[in-house]
Amino acid sequence: MKIGFIGTGNMGSILVSSFIEAKAIEASSVMVTNRTIAKANALQERYSALQVAPSAQEVIAFANIIFMCVKPHQFMDILPSHQQWFTKEKLLVSITSPLQCEELEKVVPCSVARAIPSITNRALAGASLLTFGTRCTAKQKEQLQTLFDSISTPLLINNDITRVSSDIASCGPAFIGYVLQCMINSAVAQTKISNEQATELTSQMIIGMGKLLEKKIFTLPTLVEKVCVKGGITGEGIKILQEDVEHVFDKVIQRTHEKYDDERAKIAQQFQAHHSS
Ligand SMILES: NC(=O)C1=CN([C@@H]2O[C@H](COP(=O)(O)OP(=O)(O)OC[C@H]3O[C@@H](n4cnc5c(N)ncnc54)[C@H](O)[C@@H]3O)[C@@H](O)[C@H]2O)C=CC1
Ligand SMILES: O=C(O)[C@@H]1CCC=N1
């Protein structure tokens, strides 16, 4: 199985590194390209057998599975002009949420799937979100599922919960990372703890919490209950969080969905322009 990557920015590079390190693919079976070729060359420096191509055409011709790791509005810079290279037996995989498989199937003749990764996949952990287009064969589904099994816990999802699932699985590390950084900043500003000490304690806390959940020792609600000793100190802190944080994610989720709708509208225009040209 030969795998191609168009776009080796943040997520393209993370997927290449994770699949190779999980031994799901051999570096010699990978070909990548990127608009700024230096980013693709950086991957070759790490994995010498990996091939770098000067353009998307070589990658599509080489690979059975082609990951499109560019931003949503960049898809139409590439797909229409490369239609003849996406021959029927190939599988195009989009890693971005606003594009739906049905839309991509109208632009390329091959099979299409969507696999939204998470930065957590770089540690061969976390979830990924899979959606298969109508042309995917049983073999292609199995191949993609196996690839993502090696670096994550893949979940099959429908279009109607794509955005919210990606909010949790893919944006979640940024959201929770931001909240934890706020806790560190407040601790440093209000007490004598150093930034280094607060950061180390926070890192160990979140790693430990992840292990509790992984080992299914506690669920999130039982964990909160166990730490909140009746009449104790944690409960006082929780009261403040109830006032200020309880509904904050209503707003976060509303905002991400608004942005998603904007992106989908722009994509619809791009696709409309393509079909009527
Ligand atoms: N960053 C994250 O945690 C996640 C990102 N994604 C999705 O991954 C996609 C890419 O995101 P990032 O990797 O963060 O963005 P990025 O900007 O780091 O990477 C995009 C890459 O595509 C390259 N590119 C653009 N046009 C090209 C073309 N015509 N030919 C070749 N290369 C081209 C750019 O040079 C850049 O290196 C986005 O659609 C995003 O929604 C999905 C899940 C998580
Ligand atoms: O397309 C998405 O939903 C992901 C989530 C983080 C960045 N892009």
- What span, in angstroms and rounded, lies between the C-alpha atoms of 92 and 64? 9
Going from the Cα of 96 to the center of ligand 2, the distance in angstroms, rounded, reads 6
pLDDT tens, 149-182?
999 999 999 999 999 999 999 999 999 999 999 9
| Ligand 2 atom 3, closest CA | 97
Question: What percent of the chain is modeled with pLDDT above 70?
Answer: 100
Three-point CA angle 163, 170, 16, nearest 5°: 125
Farthest CA pair distance, the chain: 69
pTM of the model: 0.95
Establish whether residue 96 lines the binding site of ligand 1, counting it when its CB lies within 6 angstroms of any ligand atom.
yes
pLDDT of amino acid 268: 86
CB neighbour list of residue 217: distance below 8 Å, 6 or more residues apart: none
**Given phi > 0 = left and psi -120 to 50 = alpha, else beta, which region is 231?**
left
Q: How far, CA to CA in Å, does 9 sit from each of 6, 29, 40, 135, 208?
A: 9, 20, 8, 28, 30
Task: Give the position, in ligand 1's atom list, of the atom nearest the Cα of 7.
Answer: 22
pLDDT tens, 56-94?
999 999 999 999 999 999 999 999 999 999 999 999 999
Could you give all domains of the chain from N- to C-terminal order, each with its CATH number?
3-157 (3.40.50.720), 165-252 (1.10.3730)
Reference 44, options 1, 5, 95, 86; nearest CA is: 5
Going from the Cα of 113 to the center of ligand 1, the distance in angstroms, rounded, reads 17
Q: Which residues pair with 127 in a beta bridge?
A: 153
Among the ranges given (29-43, 154-168, 180-194, 230-244), the one the predictor scored with the smallest mean pLDDT: 230-244
Going from the Cα of 97 to the center of ligand 2, the distance in angstroms, rounded, reads 6
| Tokens found for residue 43 | 């991957």
Which residue has 């990996």 as its token pair?
Answer: 50
| Ligand 1 atom 6, closest CA | 96
pLDDT of amino acid 271: 83
Q: Is the predicted pLDDT of residue 262 greater than 90, yes or no? A: yes
Reference 93, options 12, 39, 162, 25; nearest CA is: 12
Which residues lie with the beta carbon below 6 Å from any ligand 2 atom?
A: 96-97, 116, 166, 170-171
